[in-house]
Amino acid sequence: MTDAADTGSGLAPRRGFLSQLEIDLRLLGMIGAFALLCVAFGVYTGGTFLTPRNIFNITIQTVSVAIMATGMVFVIVTRNIDLSVGSVLAMCSAVMAVVQARWLPGAVGLGHPMIAPVTILTGLAVGTAIGAFHGWLTGYQGIPSFIVTLGGLLVWRNVSWYTTSGQTVAPLDQTILLFGGAEGTLGPTWSWVVAALLSLGVVWVIWSGRASKTAHGFPVKPLWAEGALTLVLVGAILGFIAILNAYPVPEAKLRRLFEARGLTLPEGYTVGHGLPISVLILILVAVVMTVIARKTRFGRYIYATGGNPEAAALSGINTRWLTVKVFALMGFLAGLSALVAQSRLQSHANDIGTLDELRVIAAAVIGGTALAGGVGTIWGAILGALIMQSLQSGMGMVGVDTPFQNIVVGLVLIGAVWIDIVYRKRLGVR
């Protein structure tokens, strides 16, 4: 197999349409599966599944798991696992709830503008610290991450219980509530601004990648392929924003908002939701994590360590410290997800984030992250989270019983990995 290519058969074979586009077949397969899912549920529900309202809801329900799934990719790529993320989320949420609803209002007064930033920073710090501690136990003390985080799963769930004395904490700070979804959206105008910026970003990435290849004399894709790819991506961004903008804010809520400012709602006035702040956070996380994975030394070392830990260490990479950093990043993202989750639920309850660790791991694995380490992508994990949430919401709308929903999700998880294994064998990749 390998030698055939070495000798070089003279002329390069004529390349197919897809190979000229240089698109990952796995990505294409996942997008295809997702599209099929949407169409099937769309038909079955008579179009209800594909309404702007439902798409908006699925999107904001996906955010919390998707944010953590991006961090889980790094954890799994370095041949570790984190079973504690649901409990760490609960722990961060509990601390944030207590800080914003009990401590700070007593010190600075209810509704003070500093409450939200202090609360958020505290939550993120708690998550990062817990993650770093897990990473230290794994990297420096040599305890398997499975054990460390299995312990963490039990410990943090119940430390969070004591933090709030087992009570549900509500109402939350008004600014915090903006990070959950429907309560905090950008509105149509700013959503279009974000769409324009993202589109420019796509164009810049594709163009600068091409320029840098040309500068070093490497072959580039044909211009039409580059152009088609740009059009599809920009079209997807603009279409997504258009859908979110098409979901109007309910009239009762508009009236309440106007009354809060001492105005009356004009007759026939409507406005769309636009991009939720939580989704904007997910987009930023996705971009930053992708840059880390592909363009930084930190990311390169994560993948190298996953591929061959011994080789990485012999190359002078401090794999122990790397483990601490990867788990700290996972903890930070769990803290961020805690903000989104408690804001969406508009309260902190003891069961927040229960079973999230399994959803997060499933999302990463469905997205193509290999438990053997070394392989996994950020976009895959996000798409995995989206597929799982769509499946669950769709089945709910169709009227499938909850127990059966879980059976299906479990089967999909196993099926996705099975297809991946068959696909890899066919292509002869490891």
Stretch of 109-117, 228-236, 305-313, 332-340 contacting another protein, by CB under 8 A: 305-313
Rounded least distance, CB 8 to another protein, Å? 7
In the bound state with another protein, the residue whose beta carbon lies nearer, of 103 and 298, is 298
- Binding segment (CB under 8 A) for another protein, from list 270-278, 289-297, 356-364, 403-411: 289-297
- Site residues for another protein, 189-218, by CB under 8 A, read 212-213, 215-218
Return d(Cα 61, Cα 269) in angstroms, integer. Answer: 28
Number of residues that bind another protein (CB under 8 A): 36
Choose among 173, 170, 168: nearest CA to 350: 168
Phi, psi of 330 (to 5 degrees): -60, -45
Quote the crossing angle between the two packed helices 115-139 and 145-163, to the nearest 10°.
150
- Residue 84 phi, psi dihedral angles, 5° rounding: -100, 0
Applying CB under 8 A, does 304 fall inside the site for another protein?
yes
Quote the least distance from Cβ 308 to another protein, whole Å: 5
For another protein, the closer CB: 353 or 374: 374
Question: Residue 68, class by beta-carbon neighbours within 10 Å (0-12 exposed, 13-18 middle, 19+ buried)?
Answer: buried
Q: Which residue, 18 or 291, is less far from another protein as judged by CB?
A: 291
Give the E-state strand segments of 262-301 in sequence order. none
H helix and E strand count, the chain:
18, 0
Question: Can residue 19 be called a binding residue for another protein (CB under 8 A)?
Answer: no
Q: How far apart are the first and last CA of the chain?
A: 14
Residue of 108, 121, 288, 311 that binds another protein (CB under 8 A): 311
With respect to another protein, which residue has the nearer C-beta, 215 or 252? 215
Q: Residue 182 — φ and ψ, nearest 5°? A: -60, -30
Residue 12 is a binding residue for another protein (CB under 8 A): no
Enter the DSSP assignment of 49. Answer: G
Q: Is 5 in the site for another protein (CB under 8 A)?
A: yes
Q: How far is the CB of 127 from another protein (least distance, A)?
A: 25
Under a CB-based contact definition with an 8 Å cutoff, are residues 395 and 412 in contact?
Answer: no
> What b/e string do you get for 339-357 counting C-beta neighbours within 10 Å, with b at 16 or more?
bbbbbbbebbbbebbeebb
| Using rule CB under 8 A, residue 367 touches another protein | no
Cβ 6 to another protein, closest distance in Å?
5
Give the footprint of another protein on this chain (CB under 8 A): 2-3, 5-8, 212-213, 215-218, 291, 295-297, 300-301, 303-308, 310-317, 374-375, 429-430
